[in-house]
Structure 1
Amino acid sequence: MKRIILHVGRHKSGTTSLQASFWENRNLFLSKGILYPESSRRENAHHLFAEALHPKRVRENGLANVENEDVIRNLINEIESSSCQTVLISSEAFQNCTPTDVKHIFRNYDVSIIFYIREQVGYLESAYLQEVQATNYHESIERFEEERFFVDYYKFYKSWEKEFNNGNVIVRAFEKSKLKNGDIVDDFFETVIFPLTDGEFQYKKPQYDGFLRNASLKGIYIPFKLRLNTTIKIHKPCLYQTLGILSDEIDENSTVISEYLKYKVNNDYRESNFNLSEELGLDFNFFFNRSSKVYYHSHSDISPSEFLNLLRQLIARDERCSYLLRELYSYELIDENEHFKFIFSDNLILDSLKFIYLNTAKQQRRLFSELETSDGSFRIKKEKFNPQTDFLSIFFENEKNSVPLRLMNGA
């Protein structure tokens, strides 16, 4: 019977680094009798396979039908056709699957489960900042914790242990002091891969930190992205990547988690963590965040000028992000018989503006008083505005000496 090593995450525990190393060493694995399948992958991991087993899809389509889908069959067929007796499969999306369904799919194999866990306070912060960075989420971390953060490790462990038996579920601590060489890749190879082969061997490592791969938002970029998220609908990869790079360059040792929230999270999971520690012999103190970071008020407001300056820095670093200017500082020009109607983009909220000017060849005319409070739009008689040459500009509040920002016609 072939053996399957199923790496099921968890999220925010070095999975990107691990999966990059798995893919980088797939040919070396083959020479050692270990298959890292090419089928059912997205990037370096088997996310497509795991997502096909999401409980919602299984409920809607039935497990028997899901089992016959190409994304499932292709990977199983690759396993069967390979001469390798050991198979490594990896996706943190498995943590959302029902272990009973996973067991059914792999019922003809000897399966071992492995996952890494990190203390919940650090997990919460990392998950929250990832959500803010990657999506348009703009709520507080307190609300995120209340509505989206459910990390009962003991319950998670028992759900897998029930289906795959004690000893076939391996739990490792994702903390530098507890990882081999302080590195997630070294830890996995030395504790999981090497015992499957005839001894240690040289392997390739990804060209980045093997403990934390994805650069998270830091410092002023947190309130910047939170404000940005209230309006933009399009999140291009360049935005995510560039914000990560800029944040990584900041010498910022801060946290978005208050002492109260830290206490709440530790207290909520104290019993669960104790039970897991007792059953697996883990260090119970591992679960208590010992960060040296100082408290950072992530939701202190960012001024319009600070926001615009950061946006300009973002575009200067990667001009592909210039699409944000049109989304944030533009207007739609509508022809209404004798008038032009100007409708601002949603982010041009009135309370952040000091003046709006109409700029023509002959004059610069202040228009703020002409805004209609109902929708933030205004009208100008056609003889007073030439769409080909004239334009609008704005000053933000409390910026007497600032250079106005020219608005773009987004129509």
Structure 2
Amino acid sequence: MRKKIVVHIGTHKTGTTTIQNVFETNRAELKTLGVLYPATNREPYPGLPKHTSVFHAMGNTESAEVERKILLEEFEKSNCKFMIISEEGLAEPRPGALRFFAPFTENYDIHVVAYLRRQDVFVESLYNQFVRERGEQRLISEFCRAPKIKSRLDYHGILTSWRELGTVSAFNFDSVKSRLSDSLLEAVGAPILNGHETRENVSPDMRIITALVYMHRTGLKFDRQAMLNTYKKVYTGQAVKKTILGANLRAEVLQWCAPSNEKLKSDFGVSFNNENPIESFYPNDIPELDAAFAALALMSAEGR
């Protein structure tokens, strides 16, 4: 029986940080179970518990060869039967990802694991992340219609391309979100950890995200994290708002994705519910002025 390389490709905003932290924290225990979670302390982001070095290297032939060599040396030295590589950027439809892993198929079995959210919910969560981490300036209507974003929503196409390398297991995130890391280990035939899981990287209120977008659009520099923290104080005690699309744009997104989702269900066994949130017809993308004034007052009172 050949050893197995497990490629966890995310997607974004499906508990990926939770899984990565579990595997990083429990690396020694995993190794006793025959599962290697290789070192994540290489550039470009050695402080993150994921394999950013793989994503960074896959666009350059020489760098990719060096990275593959490092991974295989660690794998063979470990005497483990499984090696898990986790990086949510691998779910982006880039041919470099497949080229990076293709050479492994000569001597190892490849098993790809992906977690999926219904595309309208996914695009809202991705927008939330892009605003917080990348300074996204587009309104949600522009963001979700952008070709590069729409390409991420064709789950069937993405998973089908990965199937060229080996086995693909896909899950509806909502059906396994209480035991993500163990669901991954089970899917690939590895021993499970039983527990050890705390949800990480929970997205903040969409009203905060809307305010940050308009601040980004001014072109002025500001302390994004400080502003985020201040707005969190302003909205403390209120129900968290997770949606922003509005009913019309949500329906548009789901209509785009319907053909792909039909094939996703038949080929990979993943389907999504039909429940929609109660919301207005149009995107909720205008900042609340009273909250903005409260944030300014709070920052002034704190001497910022």
**Which TM-score band (shorter chain)?**
0.7 to 0.9
Q: Matches of 1:245 and 1:87 in 2, distance apart? A: 42
CA distance in 2 between counterparts of 1:316 and 1:102 reads 52
Match of 1:102?
100
Give the AA of the match of 2:238: I
Between 74-83 and 108-117, report the one with greater CA deviation.
74-83
Which structure has more relative contact order (CA 8 Å, sep 6+)? It is 2
Q: Normalising to structure 1: TM-score of the pair?
A: 0.63
Q: Deviations over 1:121-141 (max 9, x none)?
A: 101111112222223322211
Deviation at 1:23, TM superposition (A): 0.9
What's 2:9 paired with? 8
Rounded Cα–Cα distance in structure 2 between residues aligned with 1:104 and 1:254: 39
Correspondence for 2:88: 92
Name the SS for the 1:112 alignment partner: strand
Evaluate the alpha carbon distance shift between residue 267 and residue 73 of structure 1 in structure 2; reply closer, same or farther with a 3 A threshold: same
Q: Distance in 1 between matches of 2:56 and 2:234?
A: 32
> Could you say which residue in structure 2 is the equivalent of 1:330?
none
Q: What corresponds to 1:309 in structure 2? A: 294
What one-letter code is carried by the residue in structure 1 that aligns with 2:266?
Answer: E
Q: How many residues align?
A: 291
Q: Distance in 2 between matches of 1:248 and 1:18?
A: 28
| Aligned residue type for 1:161 | R
User: In structure 2, what is the Cα distance between the partners aligned to 1:307 and 1:261?
Assistant: 26
**1:347 equivalent in structure 2:** none
Instruction: Compare the two structures and name the one with the higher helix fraction.
Output: 2
Match in the other structure for 1:255: 243
- Tell me how far apart the structure 2 counterparts of residues 102 and 5 of structure 1 sit (CA, whole Å): 14
Question: In the TM superposition, what is the alpha-carbon distance from 1:277 to its structure 2 partner?
Answer: 0.6
Structure number, greater radius of gyration: 1
Bigger strand share: 1
Matched, 1:117 2:112: no
The CA deviation at 1:297 is: 5.2
Aligned to 1:132: 131
| Native 8 Å contact 1:9 1:91 kept in 2 | yes
TM-score (norm 2): 0.83
Equivalent-residue separation in structure 2 for 1:51 and 1:248 (angstroms): 38
Indicate yes or no: 2:34 matched with 1:33. Answer: yes
Q: Does 1:49 find its partner at 2:54?
A: yes
Counterparts in 2 of 1:179 and 1:301: CA distance versus 1, 3 Å: closer
CA drift at 1:50: 1.9
Q: Which deviations, in whole Å up to 9, do the C-alpha atoms of 1:46-70 show, x marking residues without a partner?
A: 11222211xxx33xxxx2x12343x
- What is the correspondence of 1:230-379 to structure 2 with a 5 Å cutoff? 230=217, 231-233=219-221, 237-239=225-227, 250-253=238-241, 255-283=243-271, 286=272, 288=274, 290-295=275-280, 298-300=284-286, 302-303=288-289, 306-313=291-298, 322=304
Instruction: Give the CA deviation at 1:282.
Output: 3.0
Aligned to 1:204: 196
- Given the alignment, which residue of 152, 155, 161 partners 2:154? 152
CA RMSD of aligned residues (A): 2.9
**Cα distance in structure 2, aligned partners of 1:246 and 1:140:** 23
User: Structure 1 residues 232 and 222 mapped into 2: Cα distance closer, same or farther (>3 Å)?
Assistant: same
Unaligned runs of 5+ residues in structure 1 are 323-411
Could you list the structure 1 runs, at least 4 aligned residues long, displaced by more than 4 angstroms after superposition: 234-249, 314-317
Q: Provide the residue aligned with 1:226 in structure 2.
A: 213
Q: Which runs of 5+ in 2 are unaligned?
A: none
| Distance in 1 (alpha carbons) for counterparts of 2:261 and 2:255 | 10
Q: CA deviation at 1:9?
A: 0.8
Looking at structure 2, the residues matched to 101 and 245 of structure 1 have their Cα atoms a distance apart, in angstroms, of 46
Letter in structure 1 aligned against 2:33: K
CA distance in 1, matches of 2:297, 2:50: 35
Q: Tell me by how many angstroms 1:143 deviates.
A: 0.5
Residue by residue over 1:27-79, the C-alpha shift from the partner in whole angstroms, topping out at 9 and shown as x without a partner, is: 110111111111445411111222211xxx33xxxx2x12343x443323212
Alignment CA distance shift 1:201-1:51 (3 Å): closer
| Counterparts in 2 of 1:226 and 1:281: CA distance versus 1, 3 Å | closer
